[in-house]
Structure 1
Amino acid sequence: MADGGSTAADLGAWICFEDEAGQGLRPPKGTTWGRRGRTPVVRVTARGTHRISLAALVAIKPGEHPRLIYRAYAYRGRKRERKGFDEGDYIRLLDAAHQQLGGPIVVVWDNLNTHRSARMRRYLAARDWLTIFYLPPHAPELNPVEGVWSHLKRSLANLTKHTIDQLMQLIKTRLKRIQHRPALLNSPLAHTHLQISNPAIEAL
């Protein structure tokens, strides 16, 4: 991240790590308490095709608190309905980040086909406030957004929601809690072991 960090410092930019995740109506498994000899049972819906797609940015800048910016998309299994994010969705997320953060951004993301498509390259070329860096292949440990997903999945363990709208509301509630508590982003950032100087992070 030396090149990305130097670029961000030169531009006075935010460094924004991006990643995607998904969650269906079957909740993640987790440990819980129960009476001896009586295994707790969580009843879930059989609608296996309905799914929430998530894309998020963890934004950092020296002297500022880390920020979480995300978008969510619900796939309801309808005919000709796209299942997840396309290039336009990612660009709208980056445009929103640019507006919210109030300055240029350096985005660090993985090598997803959508990130490298010709359509995406055209979108990126039209935004002079945006610089892109790609993570090495198979290196999720370098992306702090992975820690956000881990925290989210733990909070959803064993919780059953029977409609996609209920699940969407629950996920948004959980992510808003993280947004309002930037200290929760410290641990995912620390686990990357990236050399990024941020006094605001260290002070939290």
Structure 2
Amino acid sequence: MIRVRGRSQRRFSIAALACHSPGERSRMIFRPERHPDHQRGGRRSLTWSDYRGLLTAAHHQLKAPLVLVWDNLNMHLDHHIRDVIAAHEGITCYQQPSYAPDPNPAEGLWSVLRRTGQCNTAFTDPDHLIRTLRHRLRKLQHRSDVTDGCLAATGLTRTTSRPQPR
């Protein structure tokens, strides 16, 4: 039996990019965010400006154009983030079909994180959870073999050419 006091509505969001480039080591760039209790007027998820910051940081850090392969998360479809992508010459975005997590390497990273970072752990408080998540993400960030494995599981390759219009 586990006793729980009150009811917490705190939420954590994590945005991550699985980055692959021919001839380079694979990388993961992430941004975890802790949100206050959303019933008290706090946000419940990452905003378009959070995604803009992640994309801008990734572009500067990688010093290369970005090709995004995104699922249909509501924020990925938001007109603000679409405007950011359209205005930035170094970012191209491809939208996955609905309910198609298989071609998304980030889904593999989330699976690894759940299996290694959250299993068999009783978190004492939200700070303990976010510290553990950050620690595990940093460890994954330095494991290019794991990121490569997540890409290989999709069937995509680092040399997949840009789709040609039909």
| TM-score normalised by length of structure 2 | 0.86
Write the distance in 1 (CA, Å) between the matches of 2:92 and 2:3: 43
The reply to whether residue 90 of structure 1 matches residue 85 of structure 2 is no
| Residues 44/182 of structure 1: CA separation in 2 closer, same or farther (3 Å cut) | farther
Equivalent residue letter for 1:86: T
Q: Which residue of 2 aligns with 1:75?
A: 35
- Structure number with the bigger relative contact order (C-alpha 8 A, sep ≥ 6) is 1
| TM-score normalised by length of structure 1 | 0.71
Alpha-carbon contact 2:72-2:96 (below 8 Å) kept: yes
Equivalent residue letter for 1:180: H
Work out which of the residue numbers 85, 94, 99 in structure 2 matches 1:133.
Answer: 94
Alpha-carbon contact 1:55-1:71 (below 8 Å) kept: yes
Write the distance in 2 (CA, Å) between the matches of 1:57 and 1:70: 6
Displaced runs of 4+ in structure 1, greater than 6 A? none
The reply to whether residue 196 of structure 1 matches residue 158 of structure 2 is yes
SS at 1:162's partner residue? coil
Alpha-carbon contact 1:44-1:160 (below 8 Å) kept: no
Equivalent residue letter for 1:103: A
SS at 1:184's partner residue? helix
Equivalent residue letter for 1:104: P
Q: Which residue of 2 aligns with 1:157?
A: 119
Alpha-carbon contact 2:35-2:42 (below 8 Å) kept: yes
Within 5 Å, give how 1:35-184 maps onto structure 2: 43=2, 45=4, 47-77=7-37, 79-155=40-116, 156-184=118-146
Write the distance in 2 (CA, Å) between the matches of 1:136 and 1:125: 20
For structure 1, which runs of at least 5 residues remain unmatched after alignment?
1-40, 199-204
Write the distance in 2 (CA, Å) between the matches of 1:45 and 1:143: 36
Structure 1 or 2, whichever has the larger Rg, is 1
Give the CA deviation at 1:175. Answer: 0.6
Count of residue pairs the alignment pairs up: 157
Write the distance in 2 (CA, Å) between the matches of 1:61 and 1:99: 15
Q: Deviations over 1:85-108 (max 9, x none)?
A: 111111111001001101211111
Equivalent residue letter for 2:104: N
Alpha-carbon contact 1:52-1:164 (below 8 Å) kept: no
Equivalent residue letter for 1:76: P
Q: Percent identity?
A: 37
| Residues 48/182 of structure 1: CA separation in 2 closer, same or farther (3 Å cut) | same
Give the CA deviation at 1:196. Answer: 3.4
Alpha-carbon contact 2:27-2:144 (below 8 Å) kept: yes
Write the distance in 2 (CA, Å) between the matches of 1:53 and 1:70: 10
Alpha-carbon contact 1:103-1:129 (below 8 Å) kept: yes
Alpha-carbon contact 1:76-1:164 (below 8 Å) kept: no
Give the CA deviation at 1:76. Answer: 2.8
